[in-house]
């Protein structure tokens, strides 16, 4: 419902929640990686549905989308393996820092606007390299790529609706490859709960994927009667508390 009200990616709800839930029974490193992988798989369902809707609305730049596919695929596949190599303490601090950065940006930033006169066609290498880094950095933490990609793409002369629509379609590629990365990175990992597929906990994924499809439209309906600014501030406070709990987890 929060996603429907705020338009915020489901990863901001799922990742810290799952990390704290899994952390009650698993080690900190295992719980974070399992939360990130399960979140990534769940995101893929919503991103694919969103991409279809954006395509029907005509908000996807096909050339820009094609430019994002390979960088996102490489970055999203690499991120889970980097996560596995990181020490547990470093991973916890990194995930907490990313969540804090998103929460602070949510509290203090202004809505993005695309007003640049730079064409993305003339900066393909810059875009490709940046999206690889965004893919790796976001997938390590298990959060949506659009949180960082949308502000970056507004640096070019692309209509804002096209930025959001194309980013949504690209997120489908990113999250799908990210889920594959977490499955492969955790395939031989020990100490995971029954029902896991690598670092993806299948029972949670199945329940959340269905629930998200049901609850998000409800949030869209509630958005008209809810003070979005106040709810966004409360949500940011929740993220800051969750980030602190993740950083202090043993």
Top mean-pLDDT range of 48-57, 175-184, 229-238? 175-184
Given a cut of 80, whether residue 182 has pLDDT beyond it is yes
Mean pLDDT, the chain, integer: 85
**CA of residue 13 relative to chain centroid, distance:** 10
Please report the beta strands in the chain, taking only residues with DSSP state E, as ranges in sequence order: 196-197, 200-201
* R_g of the chain, CA atoms, integer Å: 17
Given a cut of 80, whether residue 223 has pLDDT beyond it is no
Q: Give the whole-angstrom CA distance, residue 101 versus residue 181.
A: 24
Q: Give the whole-angstrom CA distance, residue 136 versus residue 132.
A: 6
pLDDT digits (tens, 9 = 90+) for 82-122: 999 999 889 888 988 988 988 888 777 666 555 567 788 88
- Residue 47's pLDDT is 82
Task: Classify the phi-psi angles of 101: left when phi > 0, otherwise alpha if psi is within -120 to 50, otherwise beta.
Answer: alpha
- Residue 3's pLDDT is 65
Given a cut of 70, whether residue 197 has pLDDT beyond it is yes
pLDDT digits (tens, 9 = 90+) for 125-142: 999 999 999 999 999 988
Residue pair 11/235 in contact by the 8 Å Cβ criterion: no
Better-scored residue on pLDDT, 229 or 14: 14
Q: Give the whole-angstrom CA distance, residue 5 versus residue 130.
A: 30
Given a cut of 70, whether residue 124 has pLDDT beyond it is yes
Which pTM was predicted? Answer: 0.85
Q: Give the whole-angstrom CA distance, residue 2 versus residue 13.
A: 8
- Residue 61's pLDDT is 92
Q: Dig out the tokens for 30 from the structure.
A: 């295992």
Top mean-pLDDT range of 6-10, 48-52, 181-185, 216-220? 181-185
């Amino acid at each position: 419902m929060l996603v429907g009200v705020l338009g915020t990616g489901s990863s901001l709800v799922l990742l810290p929640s799952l990390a704290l839930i899994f952390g009650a029974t698993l080690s900190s490193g295992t719980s974070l990686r399992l939360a990130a992988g399960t979140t990534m798989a769940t995101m893929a369902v919503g991103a694919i549905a969103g991409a279809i809707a954006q395509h029907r609305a005509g908000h996807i730049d096909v050339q820009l989308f094609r430019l994002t596919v390979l960088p996102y695929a490489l970055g999203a596949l690499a991120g889970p393996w980097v996560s596995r190599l990181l020490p547990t303490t470093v991973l916890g601090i990194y995930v907490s820092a990313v969540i804090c950065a998103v929460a602070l940006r949510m509290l203090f930033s202004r809505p993005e606007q695309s007003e640049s006169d730079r064409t993305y066609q003339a900066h393909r290498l810059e875009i490709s390299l940046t999206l690889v880094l965004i893919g790796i950095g976001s997938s390590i933490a298990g959060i949506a790529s659009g949180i960082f990609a949308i502000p970056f793409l507004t640096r070019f002369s692309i209509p804002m609706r096209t930025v959001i629509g194309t980013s949504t379609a690209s997120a489908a590629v990113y999250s799908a490859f990210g889920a594959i990365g977490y499955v492969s990175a955790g395939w031989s990992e020990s100490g995971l709960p029954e029902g896991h597929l690598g670092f993806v906990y299948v029972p949670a994924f199945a329940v959340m994927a269905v629930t998200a499809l049901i609850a998000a439209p409800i949030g869209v309906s509630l958005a008209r009667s809810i003070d979005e600014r106040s709810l966004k501030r409360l949500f940011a406070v929740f993220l800051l508390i969750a980030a602190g709990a993740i950083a202090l987890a043993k």
